[in-house]
Amino acid sequence: MSIPSVRYQKFTRAYGSGSEGDVYTALQFKKSEPKVPWRAIGVATVLFAVGSTLIIIGSLLLTGYIDAEYSDRTWPVLILGIITFLPGFYQLRIAYLAWMGYSGYSFDDIPDYND
Protein backbone atom coordinates (compact mmCIF):
# COMPACT_ATOMS: atom_id res chain seq x y z
CA MET A 1 0.00 0.00 0.00
CA SER A 2 1.52 3.29 -1.02
CA ILE A 3 0.85 6.56 0.72
CA PRO A 4 0.07 9.36 -1.71
CA SER A 5 2.40 12.30 -1.49
CA VAL A 6 0.61 15.42 -0.34
CA ARG A 7 2.24 18.82 -0.25
CA TYR A 8 1.31 20.98 2.69
CA GLN A 9 2.01 24.66 3.03
CA LYS A 10 1.32 27.23 5.66
CA PHE A 11 -1.04 30.11 4.98
CA THR A 12 0.90 33.26 5.77
CA ARG A 13 -1.19 36.02 4.20
CA ALA A 14 -3.01 38.20 6.71
CA TYR A 15 -6.18 39.93 5.58
CA GLY A 16 -6.55 43.51 6.70
CA SER A 17 -4.14 43.29 9.61
CA GLY A 18 -1.11 44.58 7.75
CA SER A 19 1.16 42.05 9.43
CA GLU A 20 2.40 38.68 8.29
CA GLY A 21 0.89 35.91 10.36
CA ASP A 22 -1.11 32.73 10.28
CA VAL A 23 -4.55 33.08 8.73
CA TYR A 24 -7.30 30.54 8.61
CA THR A 25 -9.66 30.40 5.67
CA ALA A 26 -13.02 28.70 5.35
CA LEU A 27 -11.61 26.37 2.69
CA GLN A 28 -9.34 24.74 5.25
CA PHE A 29 -12.28 23.47 7.27
CA LYS A 30 -14.63 22.51 4.44
CA LYS A 31 -15.31 18.77 4.45
CA SER A 32 -15.58 17.08 1.11
CA GLU A 33 -18.58 14.92 0.32
CA PRO A 34 -17.83 11.36 1.51
CA LYS A 35 -17.32 8.75 -1.16
CA VAL A 36 -19.86 5.92 -1.17
CA PRO A 37 -18.05 2.61 -0.45
CA TRP A 38 -19.89 0.43 -2.97
CA ARG A 39 -17.68 -2.63 -2.48
CA ALA A 40 -18.17 -2.58 1.30
CA ILE A 41 -21.94 -2.21 0.85
CA GLY A 42 -21.87 -5.18 -1.55
CA VAL A 43 -19.93 -7.30 0.96
CA ALA A 44 -22.38 -6.28 3.70
CA THR A 45 -25.31 -7.26 1.47
CA VAL A 46 -23.79 -10.69 0.82
CA LEU A 47 -23.09 -11.21 4.54
CA PHE A 48 -26.64 -10.18 5.38
CA ALA A 49 -28.16 -12.52 2.77
CA VAL A 50 -25.99 -15.52 3.69
CA GLY A 51 -26.55 -14.95 7.41
CA SER A 52 -30.32 -14.66 6.95
CA THR A 53 -30.39 -17.86 4.91
CA LEU A 54 -28.32 -19.78 7.47
CA ILE A 55 -30.48 -18.53 10.35
CA ILE A 56 -33.64 -19.63 8.54
CA ILE A 57 -32.17 -23.05 7.75
CA GLY A 58 -30.93 -23.42 11.33
CA SER A 59 -34.33 -22.47 12.69
CA LEU A 60 -36.02 -25.02 10.44
CA LEU A 61 -33.55 -27.66 11.62
CA LEU A 62 -34.16 -26.69 15.25
CA THR A 63 -37.95 -26.93 14.95
CA GLY A 64 -37.75 -30.26 13.14
CA TYR A 65 -39.33 -29.01 9.93
CA ILE A 66 -36.27 -30.28 8.06
CA ASP A 67 -35.61 -34.00 8.49
CA ALA A 68 -34.05 -35.10 11.80
CA GLU A 69 -31.25 -36.78 9.83
CA TYR A 70 -29.45 -33.42 9.82
CA SER A 71 -30.10 -32.46 13.46
CA ASP A 72 -26.37 -32.58 14.31
CA ARG A 73 -25.84 -29.52 12.08
CA THR A 74 -28.41 -27.32 13.79
CA TRP A 75 -26.24 -25.32 16.19
CA PRO A 76 -23.26 -24.80 13.86
CA VAL A 77 -25.59 -23.50 11.14
CA LEU A 78 -27.33 -21.14 13.59
CA ILE A 79 -24.03 -19.85 15.00
CA LEU A 80 -22.52 -19.28 11.54
CA GLY A 81 -25.74 -17.55 10.50
CA ILE A 82 -25.57 -15.17 13.45
CA ILE A 83 -21.85 -14.51 12.90
CA THR A 84 -22.42 -13.55 9.26
CA PHE A 85 -25.75 -11.77 9.78
CA LEU A 86 -24.68 -9.28 12.46
CA PRO A 87 -21.85 -7.43 10.64
CA GLY A 88 -23.85 -7.36 7.41
CA PHE A 89 -26.91 -5.92 9.15
CA TYR A 90 -24.81 -3.38 11.04
CA GLN A 91 -23.07 -2.00 7.95
CA LEU A 92 -26.24 -2.00 5.85
CA ARG A 93 -28.00 -0.07 8.61
CA ILE A 94 -25.25 2.55 8.68
CA ALA A 95 -25.30 2.79 4.86
CA TYR A 96 -29.08 3.20 4.79
CA LEU A 97 -29.14 5.86 7.51
CA ALA A 98 -26.26 7.75 5.85
CA TRP A 99 -28.05 7.59 2.49
CA MET A 100 -31.25 8.92 4.09
CA GLY A 101 -29.25 11.80 5.59
CA TYR A 102 -29.75 11.17 9.31
CA SER A 103 -27.41 13.25 11.46
CA GLY A 104 -24.58 11.31 13.04
CA TYR A 105 -24.38 8.78 10.21
CA SER A 106 -21.92 9.01 7.35
CA PHE A 107 -20.45 6.77 4.70
CA ASP A 108 -17.12 7.46 6.40
CA ASP A 109 -18.24 5.08 9.18
CA ILE A 110 -18.10 2.12 6.78
CA PRO A 111 -14.68 0.66 5.87
CA ASP A 112 -14.07 1.23 2.16
CA TYR A 113 -11.60 -1.62 1.40
CA ASN A 114 -9.58 0.91 -0.65
CA ASP A 115 -12.04 1.08 -3.54
CA–CA separation, 60 and 45 (whole Å): 23
- How large a percentage of the chain has pLDDT more than 90? 45
Domain residue ranges in the chain: 32-109
Q: Average pLDDT for residues 80-93, to the nearest whole number?
A: 96
**In sequence order, what are the residues at sequence separation of 6 or more whose Cβ sits closer than 8 angstroms to the Cβ of residue 113?**
37, 39, 40, 43
Q: Which long-range contacts (CB under 8 A, 24 or more apart) does 93-100 make?
A: 95/41, 95/44, 98/34
Spatial separation of the C-alpha atoms in residues 65 and 38, rounded to whole Å? 38
Reported as a single tens digit per residue, the pLDDT across 91-101 is 999 999 999 99
Whether residue 63 is predicted with pLDDT greater than 80 in this model: the reply is yes
- Give the residue-averaged pLDDT of 44-66: 93
Least confident of 4-13, 35-44, 45-54: 4-13
CA distance 81 to 44: 14
- pTM for this model (two decimals): 0.69
pLDDT band at 21 (very low <50, low <70, confident <90, very high): low
